[in-house]
Structure 1
Amino acid sequence: MPIYTDQLNRKVEVTEFPTRIISLVPSQTELLFDLGVGQNVVGITKYCIHPKKNVKKIVKVGGTKDFDIDKIIALNPDLIIANKEENYKEGVEQLEKQFPVWISDINDLKSSFEMISEVGKLVGKQKEAKNLVYKLNQDFKELAKTDSLPERYKVLYFIWKDPFMVAGKDTFIQDILERTNLENSTTSTRYPILDEEKIKELNPQIILLSSEPYPFKEKHIQEFAQMLPNAYIRVVDGELFSWYGSRLNYTIDYLKNLQKDIKLHFSKF
């Protein structure tokens, strides 16, 4: 059987053409379908919601952090695709004793493209993966050329409430913000917790409230407006900032429209 190296530099021996795949990562589940191997996916998490019409009938093995080991064993996979950040280490370590587990580790667009390419090799869809990476690469190059913002506005991107948690440095979201020509107000790494005093001290010009993992809604905007009355505040589609697979196909147009809205807002002042 072929041996592959995952993004943690682990050697993983996989059946040449895996036909019983379990994905523990929502964005990578969608990728498998878009690469053309959705029929080989036998298990997914309850958070794997795309493509909607295809995932309904697939066995759900629990959440990304609390997947059911026994249910996975019963499905007898010949490949499990996991992620360092999204899945819990102990569970993955238990699974890899019995099954080949390929683990991704994503913190920027470059590592995302590497993941897409490697997953393509794993499932026998190398050409499709290469074409997808090329398209996405061109899309983001086009975004860089638009330069639709007159300056690099400072931003906080909130992913959680009670306590307030934001996306910091060394995250995929950070890279997407950078490519949107926005400057992260926090210099902390990963996902720092901020209290109201610290938020006011950082004083971002823009606050983006992600629709996931915490489901921020329009009703939360007023709460932040009381803290920072001069900030531009809006709810954004979290999938398009944090899903690092084929959902990136929808990200570019979304970011362009976001830039236009930001530019329009600040042009009024």
Structure 2
Amino acid sequence: MVVAHAFSLPQGPQRIVCLTEETTEWLYLLEQESRIVGISGYTVRPRRARDEKPRVSAFTSAKIDKILALAPDCVLGFSDMQADIAAALICAGVPVTVFNQRSVAQIFDVLFQVAAMVGQGAQGLALIANMQQQLAALAEAAAALPRRPKIYFEEWDVPHISAIQWVSELIGMAGGDDIFPELAAQSLGRQRIIADGSEIVRRNPDIIIGSWCGKKFRPESVAARAGWGDVTAVKTGQIFEIKSADILQPGPAALTDGVAALHRIVMAWSQVHG
């Protein structure tokens, strides 16, 4: 006699710790925030997550004991820089998924994977399609510009670190040209260091955008750098900040608010200099 066993359908992880902001923001957008039991201390999107969820990690460090006390059935991380955290949790028996997205296409791939993990594949695809439509509209508007500005995007000041790949790609979609496209493909910040600041001056950007992760961008200090007085962006006052939370997180923020900020800067420049 064969006895039939009843199995419930899988519901996906119920107790998720997010070691970076982008997965937290995405789970909130998917209306699955009840699954989150711990977040990164750097989380600012959505703002209410800081009030609702315990903070258990920085970026390259984490409170392992605190995470284990939350009894997570899934920990989500980003980049090889969190390998040590992931290893410690794996050794403690915790399921860990670490993504390593660097391009816009890879960000979309990760968003879909996370949505599928929590049983929200259809909703995730709908949100992704909406973001892709917005990006396409920006790119179409950018294609009509008579002239594209040269843009230097600075991720850090000392040493100078240029734009990571998804930021470089979003600059292009917004209507500008990254002046260090050859560095954008390098995944690590130390690989995107511009050792000689005079090379930035030589490439003479029309626009400078700063996004210093973890500290306030200061346009006046950029303008005052030795030898930068003749840079077009400095002479014309085209030095701007985009908050790191809006552009340097490889998730929804960069694909919405981050690229929108880039596009506004480019369009305003085009009205005067195009």
Could you say what secondary structure the match of 2:261 adopts? helix
1: CA distance, partners of 2:210 / 2:258: 16
Query: Which residue is 1:38 aligned to?
Result: 33
Measured against aligned partners, the alpha-carbon deviations of 1:87-107 in whole angstroms (never above 9, x if no partner) come to: 421221221231111122212
Q: Deviations over 1:32-57 (max 9, x none)?
A: 11111111111111101121123223
Deviations 1:226-267 (A, max 9, x none): 614322322223333333323233345433322221213424
Match of 2:152 in 1: 156
Q: Distance in 1 between matches of 2:97 and 2:106?
A: 14
Matched, 1:242 2:248: yes
Q: Tell whether 2:160 aligns with 1:172.
A: no
Q: 1:89–1:228: structure 2 CA closer, same or farther, 3 Å change rule?
A: farther
The Cα of 1:83 is off from its aligned counterpart by 0.9
User: C-alpha offsets along residues 46-81 of structure 1, whole Å, 9 cap, x if unaligned?
Assistant: 101121123223111120111111211111100111
CA-based RMSD: 2.2
Is 2:179 the counterpart of 1:185? yes
In 2 relative to 1, CA 251–233 (structure 1 residues): closer, same or farther, beyond 3 Å? Answer: closer
SS of residue in 1 equivalent to 2:224? helix
1:79 matched to 2:74? The reply is yes
Query: Are residues 1:88 and 2:45 paired?
Result: no
**Residue identity opposite 1:91 in structure 2:** I
| Aligned positions of 1:1-269 closer than 5 A | 16-85=11-80, 87-97=81-91, 98-147=93-142, 149-168=145-164, 171-186=165-180, 187-188=182-183, 189-190=185-186, 191=189, 192-194=192-194, 195-224=196-225, 227-229=228-230, 230-231=232-233, 232-247=238-253, 248-267=255-274
Letter in 2 for 1:242: L
Distance 2:174 2:259 in 1: 9
Aligned sequence identity (%):
22
Q: Which moved more, 1:94-103 or 1:212-221?
A: 212-221
- Following the alignment from structure 1 to structure 2, what is the Cα–Cα distance between the partners of residues 139 and 208? 22
User: In the aligned structure 1, how far is the partner of 2:38 from the partner of 2:272?
Assistant: 44
Q: CA deviation at 1:214?
A: 4.0
Could you say which structure has the larger radius of gyration? Answer: 2
Secondary structure of the 2:270 match is helix
Deviations 1:95-137 (A, max 9, x none): 1231111122212211111111110011111122111111011
Structure 2 length-normalised TM: 0.83
Q: Does structure 2 retain, via aligned residues, the 8 Å contact 1:25–1:45?
A: yes
**Cα distance between partner residues in 1 of 2:102 and 2:229:** 29
Distance 1:165 1:18 in 2: 37
| Residue type at the aligned position of 2:160 | F
TM-fit CA distance, 1:213: 4.1
- Structure 2: gaps of 5 or more residues: 1-9
Match of 1:10 in 2: none
**Runs of 5+ in structure 1 lacking a partner?**
1-14
**Cα deviation, residue 193, structure 1:** 1.7
Greater alpha carbon shift after TM alignment, 88-97 vs 111-120: 88-97
Q: Aligned partners of 1:134, 1:48: CA distance in 2, in Å?
A: 25
Q: Tell me which amino acid in the other structure corresponds to 1:89.
A: A
Q: TM-score, normalised by structure 1?
A: 0.84
Partner of 1:12: none
| Alpha-carbon contact 1:180-1:255 (below 8 Å) kept | yes
Alpha-carbon contact 1:203-1:228 (below 8 Å) kept: no
